[in-house]
Amino acid sequence: DGGITQSPKYLFRKEGQNVTLSCEQNLNHDAMYWYRQDPGQGLRLIYYSQIVNDFQKGDIAEGYSVSREKKESFPLTVTSAQKNPTAFYLCASSIIRSTNEKLFFGSGTQLSVL
Amino acid sequence: AQKITQTQPGMFVQEKEAVTLDCTYDTSDPSYGLFWYKQPSSGEMIFLIYQGSYDQQNATEGRYSLNFQKARKSANLVISASQLGDSAMYFCALSMEYGNKLVFGAGTILRVKS
């Protein structure tokens, strides 16, 4: 079945440590996105990519980095510069970026700080 | 600035009854789309329904319908014949032609009572 796979489901970060969240899709979608969700809040866009080797910052990119070396993969690194990383992270993809294209989401990664 | 407002933090509905979840939006773009997503406790975001700004008819998808009032800038979700499995968080989201992102509201928690 086609879909988006995020791993791990739960991740713990120590102070000063970088951690990487994986996102893989087999839907052959061009666009991929990373969102952050805090309790009681909506989703906020961290980064998005419309084609391989290209990506743009979203609303809250500080302290995060991404890469898009393959169409299927869009990993997110939470760096030590992100001082409040505890949140639920959702990866999404869409066929292309347009107003009527729905996003398909993964099942998310819960990141916590030790 | 584009904005989505969901004024109901939480709602209760009796099983088999209909419920309306409110959503208002603010954008100056002439072309935009409105989405509703469901997020069960598992965390995954599930697409429910879409309405384009130029669509003449209100969107329907099974038990879901979207009450689109363009002049009032509202896009309320109506769930008919509520089921226990409808208990979840519901998000309204706005997609603009320019800006390359989906803006989410803060969400409404719906609890269906038996």
Cα torsion B51, A34, B37, A83: sign = negative
| pLDDT band at B29; cut points 50, 70, 90 | confident
Interfacial A residues in 46-85 facing B (CB < 8 Å): 48, 50, 56, 58-59
pLDDT band at B98 (very low <50, low <70, confident <90, very high): low
- The Cα–Cα gap between A114 and A44 comes to 23
Name the residue in chain A with its Cα closest to that of B8. Answer: A40
- Is 80 exceeded by the pLDDT of residue A99? no
What percent of chain A shows pLDDT beyond 70?
96
User: What band does A102 get if pLDDT is binned at 50, 70 and 90?
Assistant: confident
Query: How is residue B58 annotated by DSSP?
Result: P
Name every chain B residue with its beta carbon within 8 A of the beta carbon of A6: none
Q: Is the dihedral of CA A28, B55, B91, A45 positive or negative?
A: positive
Is B50 within 8 Å of A88 when comparing Cβ atoms?
Answer: no
Suggest the residue from A43, A101, A110 to mutate for an interface test with chain B (most B CBs closer than 10 A). Answer: A43
B75 interfaces chain A, CB cutoff of 8 Å = no
Instruction: Show residues of chain B in contact with A92, CB under 8 Å.
Output: 45
Confidence of residue A49 (pLDDT cuts 50, 70, 90): very high
Q: What is the predicted pLDDT for the residue at A32?
A: 94
